[in-house]
Amino acid sequence: MSSKGATTDDITTVVGITAAEDTIKKSRFIGYCCAAPTFADGMALLDVVKGDHPKARHVCWAWQGVKTESRYNDDGEPSGTAGQPILASIQGEGLSQTFVAVVRYFGGVLLGTGGLVRAYGGTARLCLRAAENGGALGGGLGTAHLCLRAAEKTVKIPQAEVRVEAPMALVGALYAATNKCVRVREEFTADAVILTVSTERALAQGVIDHVIDATRGAAKATIVGE
């Protein structure tokens, strides 16, 4: 039997880190965006942002991975008013592997559900568009983090598919060796598993080498189309 996924496309994301700020009814909103190939990459920026804004009332965020991979958090705001609008802004800009955090300093005026949705989504969009237009690092990140490269533009990251065939007895080792890739397709025969995964083109040969090492040469791996 087999399970199939969509074909692989290039990934469009931002370069480096960009910040943008807006004030809405006395509340200060600061958005940060960065390229985040993995969820852990997004969490790394979140830690930095929280460390530089310890007095902020909320730090809400969203991460869009590849295809349907996504996560978001309202950080105490009413459900659906912060993380989801941020995620919608990322998706609306056609970006993947992208993380956005929006800091809020409460100004004493309640914005209501609709106002929060517009504020968080709008700040995220403002930040992402600043990145596309060559925006710079700002918005209060401490000097210790100025070594992080400011965003210059959006870029497309070429993707590649790697096809791997291994004995059924090594299926666990095969999955472990490709756990950082996006699984596109898997097929099973009586004595083998055939797995197709997606990764950045520049990393494809490394994935092949890792698979060969993990299976002690028992697997066959090739880049699809080459």
Structural domains of the chain sorted by starting position, each given as residue range(s) with its CATH number in brackets: 11-154 (3.30.230.30), 159-223 (3.30.70.240)
Is residue 145 over pLDDT 50?
no
Interior CA angle at 204 toward 198 and 210, to 5°?
Answer: 105
Q: What angle do CA 89, 93, 94 make, to 5 degrees?
A: 120
Q: What is the pTM of this model?
A: 0.63
Q: Which residue has the tokens 């990764």?
A: 199
pLDDT digits 0-9 by tens, 52-96: 899 999 999 999 998 788 999 999 999 999 999 999 999 998 898
Interval 162-192: pLDDT, tens: 999 999 988 888 888 888 787 888 898 888 9
pLDDT band at 12 (very low <50, low <70, confident <90, very high): confident
Do residues 127 and 31 touch, judged by C-beta distance below 8 A?
A: yes
Give CA–CA dist 11/6, Å, rounded: 14
What angle (nearest 5°) sits at the alpha carbon of residue 87, between those of residues 82 and 90? 130
